[in-house]
Amino acid sequence: APRRKVAAAGERGPSSTLLSPASSEDEAPEELSFGVAKEAAETERKLVGEAARRHRELLKEKRRQRQELFAEQKVRPSPFESRRPRRAGSPPPPLTALSPAEAEAAPRGRAAGAGRRATAEVRGGGSKGNYTAVRLKDQSLTGLHQHLAKDFLNTQLYGPAANRVQANNFFSLENKKNPVTKAAVQFVDKSWGEYKKSK
């Protein structure tokens, strides 16, 4: 029995120094529960995975749009151009606010440019055949862009390197250091509670 006790005491030493960072030797060792660390790692992995997935989706979507556009262009004869002066991908007609000029479309390629621009819905019809031009904005390409942007922000600010901590940990410290000490945040009674007459 005494041997076991000594062994146990010895174990505690080295493991605590491993947990705390080298620079803060004066501080008590950090206690990090396995569950919390596991959760944090999983969330990070998920975030990065999601961002990569969305990026792939966006590229796929772009490729699909380009293919569709080329297919359309093949099918439609050029007389349509006089009737419908704009094709999906070129700048929209001036609306109440004026829009970016045609120079926009050239460097980036039609499909990609088209995704970000709103084209007016125009109905070609009558003898030349029926078709409708649709606003590519409604095809949620803009939504994909926005998702990518938000994912970037999330990964940068809340990703693996960000050193974030749960609100419980963060504010429980404050509660303990306040002039009027309070319980750790997660234990604060949130229910309507028992109303008792105080003495």
Partner 1 sequence: QVIPGHESRSVEALCWGAGGRLFGAGLSGEITEYDLGQLRASCSLDGGGGPIWSMAANSSGTQLAIGCEDGSVKLFQVVPGGIQFERNLDRRKGRVLCLSWHPSDTHIAAGSIDAFRVLDVCSGQTLQRIMVSYQVQKVKRECVVWSIAFLSCGTVVTSDSFGRVQFWDWERGTLVESHTVSTSAVLSLAVSEKEDSIVVGTSTGATYQFQLLPVKMGSLEKRWVRTKPFQHHTHDVRAVAHSSTALISGGLDAQLVIRPLMEKIQKKSYDAALRKFTFPHRRLVSCARKAHLLLFQFSQHLELWRLGSTDETGKDGEVLPLRRMPEHLLQLKSKGPEHIYCSCVSPCGGWVAYSTASRFHLYRLQYEGDGISIKKVPKAPKLLSPAYQLQFSSDSSSLFVASARGSVHVLQLLEPGGCRHLHTLRPPSGCSEAVYLLAPSADGHWLAAVSGDWVIHIYNLKCFKHHCTVPTYDCAVSALAIHPDTNNLVIAYSDQQLFEFSIPEKQYTAWSRTVQNCGLHKGWLERDSPITHITFNPKNPSHILLHDTYMFCVLDKSLPLPDDSALLLNQSTLKQLPESARQRQLHAFKICKKFQPLLFADLLDGNCLVVVERPIMDIKIQLPLPVQRKKFGT
For partner 1, the closer of residues 70 and 152 by Cβ is: 152
Residue 59 token pair? 């590229």
What would the two tokens of residue 126 be? 């009558």
**Smallest gap, in angstroms, from Cβ of residue 194 to partner 1?**
8
Q: Give the 3-state secondary structure of residue 187.
A: helix
The minimum distance between CB 12 and partner 1, in angstroms, equals: 19
Strand partners, 88: 90
Cα 117 from Cα 141, distance rounded (Å)? 10
Q: Which two tokens stand for residue 47?
A: 């975030």
Query: Judged by CB under 8 A, which stretch of 3-11, 24-32, 78-86, 123-131 contacts partner 1?
Result: 24-32
Q: Using CA atoms, how far apart are residues 176 and 185, in angstroms rounded to an integer?
A: 10
Residue whose CB is less far from partner 1, 69 or 119: 119
Name the DSSP letter for residue 35.
Answer: H
Considering only 41, 71, 167, 184, the residue that binds partner 1 (CB under 8 A) is: 167
Q: Which residues bind partner 1 (CB under 8 A)?
A: 24, 26-28, 96-101, 103-104, 107-108, 113, 116-118, 142, 145-146, 148-150, 152, 156-158, 161-171, 173, 177, 185, 188, 192, 195-198
